[in-house]
Amino acid sequence: MPDTLLVIEDEDLLGDEIARHFRRQGWEVVRTPTLAEAERELLAEGLEPLVVLSDMSLPDGNALDLLEKMGGRAGAGGEWVLLTGFGTIPDSVRALRLGAYEFLEKPCESERLDLVITGAARSARAQRRIRYEAAQQHERYGPDAFAGSNVRTREVRELLAKLAQVPFTALVVGGETGTGKGLAARILHYSGSRASGPLIEVNCIALPSELLESELFGHEAGAFTGAKGRHRGLIEQAHGGTLFLDEIGEMSLGVQARLLKALEDHRFRRVGGERELEVDVQVIAASNRDLALQVQERQFREDLYHRLRVLHVDLPPLRDRKEDLEDLVPLFIAECNAKAGKRVRIVPEGIWERLRLHSWPGNVRELRNVIERCVLLAEDERFPEEWLQLPDALPDRAPAVPEGAPETVGDMVHLPLDGSMALDDMEKYIIQIALERANHNVTAAARALGTTRQTLRYRIQKYWDKAP
């Protein structure tokens, strides 16, 4: 189907010549001599031209007025190119401010006009693609994407729907690993007013501190060894949209200080740069750690914590909302069926019982992985129980808990709750076991305990280095 070009020109000879010229290039050309007819085509008839080529001064008014009425676009993301025989600086400034692609003076050579129309068409196609993708994401990541019938799940879903309608500047999403913090961030972005803008996601734990600073703020050529060219940082790329900082509790204090200044001033400098850049971003921060506790332990800046925690969403673990399994399991099975070309649809009651007994330490992410494995290895319509690979969670088979003294059984640590062991002693015992199993490798022990190397070193100094 050919692209549509709307030509608004009251001079018949010029208008007909332009129409013939672009029809020969494969355009579908619609020509109107007045703004009133153009408005009727755009609004009443629903015409969606890829490009509008319009004379500035027409018998019934100024084309800039119609451009302003259309919100700077022609239908679904089209571009405007304006022609004038006596252009003025105020008109050109207004045209560009309203979003016109180009402002040309008559007479305009055909080669120049072809070049501009081609560029406008390319820009319009990109805008339409962005709008289409945003619409698809909006449909996929509506508040209902946070599925489940549990009371706490419904409360979170209602809160996400409400927050998506609020122009917030910063928000913190808390919850254990795998509870859906990334999903919550996408719902807030694609259901909110910034859905047409970019969503830039950053996993703060995946990058070393020095690299994270460069990735966030960008750098100029020569800012450090290996910086051969200018790099636009992720904050700059998120301008007009949302910056999602996952696992922000792992960010170093130095990067935290730069981030706070950027959020407060709405401007920042690239690494090695001299010029400040303005930025307008909505920040969503997520952490599976208690940021308030990190503030007390001086591992997270208090001022940044309060700057980010304008609003807060806390996601419940799956073990506290097992009713949601009835919604999530069929949803994940359908997704995996579609991806793998399978047709699993029968889930025996015995499997449901095992799913309900499991504690789901990995939460929804673990559930999705289990469902994906089973669907991929299924041979027919029946959900295969042999591929669940869940530990037997029946109460009568649980290991006995020792009384009076801590004990390690396999990968489990049992601690007495009869008052015979203080809380600090419990923590010290757990750290000691983790260090022994990691051959006293602090990094490996920290990974096993789900914390950072800095936090673990702080605990080691607390319990051993300062011991009398």
> Does one domain contain both 379 and 407?
no
Cα dihedral 10, 16, 19, 25, rounded to 10, equals -150
Q: Per-residue pLDDT tens for 41-51?
A: 988 888 889 99
Task: Classify the C-alpha dihedral 146-152-158-163 as positive or negative.
Answer: negative
Q: Are residues 230 and 304 in the same domain?
A: yes
Does the pTM exceed 0.75? no
What are the tokens at 250? Answer: 């792992």
Q: What CATH number is associated with residue 440?
A: 1.10.10.60
The H-or-E segment that residue 363 falls in is: helix 363-377
d(CA 202, CA 199): 10
Distance CA 149, CA 170 (A): 28
Per-residue pLDDT tens digits for 315-365: 999 999 999 999 999 999 999 999 999 999 999 999 999 999 999 989 999
Query: What pLDDT score does 460 carry?
Result: 82
Mark whether 156 and 287 lie in a shared domain. yes
Q: Are residues 275 and 301 in the same domain?
A: yes
CATH code where residue 13 lies: 3.40.50.2300
Final residue belonging to a domain, choices 282, 314, 346: 314
Does residue 31 share a domain with residue 16?
A: yes
Provide the pLDDT confidence category of residue 418 given band limits of 50, 70 and 90.
low
398 assigned to some structural domain: no
pLDDT at 2: 77
User: Which residues span the domain enclosing 454?
Assistant: 403-465
Q: State the CATH number of the domain containing residue 186.
A: 3.40.50.300
Residue 392 in domain: no
Residue 468's pLDDT is 40
Q: Which ranges in 40-86 belong to alpha helices (H)?
A: 63-69
Tell whether 397 is covered by a domain: no
**Is residue 393 assigned to a domain?**
no
Q: How far apart are the first and last CA of the chain?
A: 83
Residues 145 and 69 both lie in one domain: no
Rounded Cα distance, 279 and 226, in Å: 26
- Claim to verify: residue 434 and residue 455 sit in the same structural domain: yes
Nearest Cα neighbor of 7 from 31, 26, 28 is 31
User: What CATH number is attached to the domain comprising 375?
Assistant: 1.10.8.60
The model's confidence at residue 396, banded by pLDDT at 50, 70 and 90, is: very low
CA of residue 379 relative to chain centroid, distance: 36
Same domain, 225 and 212: yes
